[in-house]
């Protein structure tokens, strides 16, 4: 793309994009990709330093990325561990738990809380503070992870215990949801101050990679705890597993307390201004629709694939196998996430998020079709090793592509002023896709599992793999280009668009605390003091 598509006229203080109207969604989607723009110019027509030109040491630039993003480890752990806790509760209360709605609600209720948290904290992170929204979500995680571990029914009743655990898990979900718009958005903005060419990998390493590591640990910890306590003490084991979920957010609490608002947020926030919603919708509706659709499809498909983790373990182990072995095999399956997400973090810098996502989800769809086609062969116990390997490659490709890059694209494809809400809406729609996929594909699986187990395994893979191919097409042809400087460029273009439509952009940003501003204020105040003294004399 041409680097001369955007020019700034200092005399009129107006950015003149080649076709800024095309970004509004009134023309074909191909107009949406972000134009390359190496220069950084403020709306007022004065040059401004790029975000990576701020006077900070390497550690001062990097630790906000770590502090903002690493909390998503809690998302992976707390979402992953509840499946193992549910298994333990089923063994402790074989009749009461199986006949209770809690068997499904304990695992799924967090989803509802997560959607609520994404929407609430998306708003607060834009209109109040990135830092304090993130801090609040951390406190919620700590409080309700601890309360979940201490769940207790009145009089020791099992039904009361299940109800309490369900309630605490919903509220915990709100904290998990807050990590997405507050943490991921702050992480993305902080990467703008890092060296160009490395920004995508740092974002991914402290967001999606953290989630995946959390999932691995969420399987490893129950295995170790059950080995230590034995299956005769599962009442202690499940509480220990949930209680350990307090440690990750607690370890980040001090770092997050010391955080400053990202430089991008300080320059572009509308926290003290009225948000022009009609202009925002006109500018971003198409792009948000595309990003949300891909996220919806990714989460819809991901849930169908997760159905088969238990199938693999059942094939590997007999009915009388120790519980810790089942947890151990699940840990092995989750380990396949890591090479995909770590490798994808580097490729995202080399090829760009759009291309990496498209390649990853296309390859995942192809492998999914292969698995569905040979499912009758792979499903036999003697071929479980081959199943695990192919399934592991399949999982790795999902993390390499959409797992790594959809959050990155959502956090960098809009202006800073509305980024939290934009990201929160896209992520919430993705979670809705996860819920729909869980319901629809579970129905499909259950329809055939007794009459034709092969079809029961094949059909969800066929459906989900077809959606992967669709997602790849959307990614290649409709997603915007995301470059290393997209955050800075998008802020400039959004300011110009608002100004052209009569919005007073001087309201944007927080009070500057630069040395130049302080000196200027001191000079003015000093001059006023001299004037007052002369007048009194």
pLDDT digits (tens, 9 = 90+) for 473-509: 999 999 999 998 888 899 999 999 999 999 999 889 8
pLDDT tens-digit readout, 378-404: 777 777 778 888 888 999 999 999 999
User: What is the rounded average pLDDT of the residues 419-440?
Assistant: 90
The reported pLDDT for the residue numbered 537 is: 43
Q: Please give the helix or strand (H or E) that residue 8 lies within, else none.
A: strand 6-9
- Specify if 118 maps to a domain: yes
Distance between CA atoms of residues 135 and 125, nearest Å: 11
Per the structure, the complete domain to which residue 172 belongs is given by: 56-491
- Token look-up 């003490």 returns 233
Instruction: Say if 108 falls within a structural domain.
Output: yes
Q: How far apart are CA 367 and CA 357, in angstroms?
A: 15
116: in domain:
yes
What pLDDT is stored for residue 511 in this prediction? 56
Nearest to 371 by CA among 419, 411, 311, 440: 311
C-alpha distance from residue 139 to each of 37, 43, 185, 227 (Å): 40, 38, 18, 31
Q: How confident is the model at residue 342 (pLDDT cuts 50, 70, 90)?
A: very high
| pTM of the predicted protein model | 0.82
Domain count, the chain: 1
Contacts of 403 (CB under 8 A, 6+ apart): 208, 212, 298, 337, 340, 341, 344, 360
Across residues 93-110, what is the average pLDDT? Answer: 82
Q: What is the mean pLDDT of residues 5-27?
A: 40
Specify if 177 maps to a domain: yes
> Is residue 378 assigned to a domain?
yes
What whole-number distance in Å separates Cα of residue 91 and Cα of residue 511? 58
Q: Compute the average pLDDT of residues 421-440.
A: 90
pLDDT tens column, 263-295: 889 999 998 889 999 999 999 999 999 999 999
d(CA 78, CA 387): 27
Are the beta carbons of 148 and 242 closer than 8 angstroms?
Answer: yes
Mean pLDDT throughout 13-34? 41
Q: 114: exposed, middle or buried (C-beta count within 10 Å: 0-12, 13-18, 19+)? A: buried
Please tell me the number of Cα atoms within 13 Å of 497 on its side-chain side. 23
Question: Which CATH number covers residue 257?
Answer: 1.20.1250.20
Is residue 73 exposed (0-12), middle (13-18) or buried (19+ Cβ within 10 Å)? buried
Q: Is residue 18 part of a domain?
A: no
E strands present in 282-371: none
């Amino acid at each position: 793309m041409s680097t001369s598509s955007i020019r700034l006229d200092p005399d009129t203080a107006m950015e003149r994009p080649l076709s800024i109207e095309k970004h509004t969604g009134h023309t074909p989607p191909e107009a949406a990709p972000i134009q390359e723009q190496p220069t950084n110019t403020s709306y007022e027509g004065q040059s401004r330093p790029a975000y990576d030109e701020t006077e900070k040491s390497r550690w001062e630039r990097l630790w906000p990325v770590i502090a903002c993003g690493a909390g998503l480890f809690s998302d992976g752990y707390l979402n992953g561990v509840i499946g193992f806790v549910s298994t333990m509760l089923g063994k402790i209360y074989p009749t009461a738990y199986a006949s209770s709605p809690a068997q499904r609600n304990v695992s799924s209720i967090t989803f509802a809380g997560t959607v609520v948290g994404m929407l609430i904290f998306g708003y607060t992170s834009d209109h109040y503070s990135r830092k304090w929204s993130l801090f609040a979500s951390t406190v919620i995680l700590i409080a309700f992870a601890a309360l979940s571990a201490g769940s207790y029914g009145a009089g020791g009743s099992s039904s009361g215990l299940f109800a309490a655990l369900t309630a605490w898990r919903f509220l915990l979900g709100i904290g998990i949801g807050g990590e997405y718009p507050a943490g991921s958005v702050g992480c993305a903005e902080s990467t703008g101050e890092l060296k160009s060419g490395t920004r995508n990998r740092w974002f991914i390493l402290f967001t999606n990679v953290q989630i995946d590591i959390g999932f691995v640990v969420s399987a490893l910890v129950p295995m170790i705890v059950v080995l230590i306590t034995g299956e005769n003490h599962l009442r202690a084991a499940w509480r220990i597993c949930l209680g350990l979920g307090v440690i990750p957010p607690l370890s980040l609490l001090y770092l997050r307390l010391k955080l400053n608002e990202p430089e991008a947020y300080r320059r572009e926030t509308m926290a003290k201004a009225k948000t022009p919603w009609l202009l925002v919708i006109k500018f971003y509706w198409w792009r948000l629709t595309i990003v949300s659709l891909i996220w919806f499809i990714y989460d819809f498909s991901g849930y169908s694939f997760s159905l088969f983790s238990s199938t693999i373990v059942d094939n590997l182990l007999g009915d009388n196998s120790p519980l810790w072995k089942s947890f151990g095999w699940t840990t092995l399956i989750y380990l396949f996430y890591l090479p995909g997400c770590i490798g994808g973090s580097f490729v995202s810098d080399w090829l760009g998020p759009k291309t990496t996502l498209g390649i990853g989800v296309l390859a995942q769809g192809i492998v999914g079709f292969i698995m569905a086609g040979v499912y009758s062969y792979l499903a036999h116990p003697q071929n479980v090793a081959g199943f695990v390997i192919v399934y592991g490659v399949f999982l790795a490709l999902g993390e390499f592509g959409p797992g790594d890059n959809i959050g990155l694209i959502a956090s960098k494809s809009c202006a800073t002023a509305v980024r939290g809400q934009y990201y929160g809406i896209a992520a919430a729609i993705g979670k809705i896709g996860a819920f729909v996929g869980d319901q629809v594909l579970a129905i499909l699986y259950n329809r055939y599992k007794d009459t034709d187990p092969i079809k029961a395994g094949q059909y969800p893979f066929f459906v989900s793999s077809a959606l992967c191919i669709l997602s790849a097409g959307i990614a290649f042809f409709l997603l915007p280009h995301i470059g290393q400087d997209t955050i800075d460029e998008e802020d400039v273009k959004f300011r110009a668009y608002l100004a052209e439509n009569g919005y007073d952009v001087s309201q944007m940003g927080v009070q500057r605390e630069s040395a130049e501003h302080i000196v200027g204020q001191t000079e003015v105040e000093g001059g006023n003091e001299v004037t007052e003294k002369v007048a009194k004399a």
